[in-house]
Amino acid sequence: MTKRALFILTVAVTGSLAMPVFANDLAGAKVIFRKRCTGCHTYGKGIKVGPDLRGVTERRQRFWLTNFIRSSSKVIQSGDPTAVTLFHQYKQERMPDWTDLSAEQIDAILDYFAADGPSQKEPDERHASTATVAEIDMGRQLFEGQARFATGGRMCVTCHSLRGAGVAHGGTLGPDLTRAYFKYQDKALTDFLKHPCFLMTSAKTAGALLTPQESFDLKAFLARAAGLAIPAPAKGPVVTIATARTSLAEGLR
Ligand code: HEC
Ligand code: HEC
């Protein structure tokens, strides 16, 4: 059966477009952590409403953590000494129960903590001058459409030229981007690429955003085109935390 047929069948049977849930889904874990946990917890920045979660996978057992995150109220009521101590220590507020999180999702969050995930920088927080040759080249491919965006966004060359990099044949809806890197500077260009112009497109690509790595590759390519000196690595591409994490995530699937 083709992938497409299988997809249609799945939708017909389940009647939904629910995303598949992968065990150890680090990307999913990151989103859950940001949306549901950071209101009360930091990771390595001290006590907020609840304890600092850095090192929590070392100070507690996995099964304890899984039960506690799923339903801290039950664990506290059971008289578990660790839970009761925490409860008294953080009297002013209770941790909500997260019974809608699956065992796989909680597992992924704990893997994310154990890998020190929340304290790692996103690739697009790096300065363009740290880019490798491979990253700049990927930026060029994304810009010109030889490589596709993970979420299916439209290639930049549809609307932009980049004469500084010899891309003169681009669309004219948007300005030539040769000077864009210096006009915005590093940090502001990263912010610009988070709320991008390329969403002015069809419903087909609505909601398409760049991944942090795609954003970084494009920034590096624009920086090179604008004339920023980017030291090339002596040999081989540098393995960044991000690429290592991606291959880790892929390996775990
Ligand atoms: C409304 C605030 C709040 C939110 C949101 C919250 N927590 Fe908590 N968390 C607490 C408090 C307070 C405690 C201390 C125990 C208690 O009083 O319930 C705690 C304790 C914990 C502990 C035990 C820490 C230790 O040192 O043993 C873990 C693990 C934990 N939370 C994980 C999470 C995760 C994962 C999320 C997101 C899915 C989350 N918390 C969301 C308030 C919160
Ligand atoms: C559908 C057409 C379209 C696509 C596709 C598109 N852009 Fe744009 N872009 C525009 C327009 C129009 C503007 C000017 C208005 C604005 O700032 O939003 C612009 C502005 C910009 C600017 C600011 C330029 C300046 O001088 O202020 C940057 C940087 C940029 N785009 C980068 C990109 C990148 C990188 C891509 C590919 C990921 C991309 N654009 C894809 C239409 C597009």
Give me the pLDDT at residue 34, please: 87
Residues 24-74: tens digit of each pLDDT: 588 889 889 988 999 999 999 999 999 999 999 999 999 999 999 999 999
Pocket lining: 94 vs ligand 1, CB cutoff 6 Å: yes
CA-closest residue to ligand 1 atom 19:
50
Ligand 2 atom 18, closest CA: 197
What span, in angstroms and rounded, lies between the C-alpha atoms of 123 and 134? 14
The answer, yes or no, to whether any atom of ligand 2 lies below 6 A from the CB of 167, is no
133 in ligand 1 pocket by Cβ < 6 Å? no
Give per-residue pLDDT as tens, 186-199.
Answer: 999 999 998 778 76
- What percent of the chain is predicted at pLDDT more than 90? 63
pLDDT tens-digit map of 137-170: 999 999 999 999 887 778 899 999 999 999 999 9
Atom of ligand 1 nearest to the CA of 39: 5
**pLDDT higher than threshold 50 for residue 5:** no
Query: Taking 90 as the threshold, does the pLDDT of residue 84 lie above it?
Result: yes
Residue nearest atom 12 of ligand 1, based on CA coordinates? 50
pTM listed for this prediction: 0.61
| Ligand with smallest separation from the Cα of 53 | 1
CA of 249 to the centre of ligand 1 (A): 25
- 197 Cβ below 6 A of ligand 2: yes
Judge contact between 226 and 181, C-beta under 8 A. Answer: yes
Q: What is the DSSP letter of 47?
A: -
Structure tokens at 155: 């290639």
| Domains defined along the chain, listed by start | 19-119 (1.10.760.10), 124-232 (1.10.760.10)
Which ligand 1 atom is at minimum distance from the Cα of 60?
27
- For residue 201, how far is the Cα from the chain centroid? 23
Q: Which residue has the higher pLDDT, 18 or 24?
A: 24
pLDDT band at 242 (very low <50, low <70, confident <90, very high): low
Give the span between the Cα atoms of 243 and 204, in whole angstroms: 28
Instruction: Give the residue with greater pLDDT, 202 vs 79.
Output: 79
Task: Tell me if 185 CB under 6 Å of ligand 2.
Answer: no
**C-alpha distance from residue 163 to each of 62, 178, 188, 225, 227 (Å):** 55, 6, 22, 8, 12
What's the confidence (pLDDT) of residue 16? 37
Which protein residue's CA is at the shortest distance from atom 30 of ligand 2? Answer: 197
Determine which residue's CA is closest to atom 36 belonging to ligand 2: 156
Q: At 162, give phi and psi (nearest 5°).
A: -150, 75
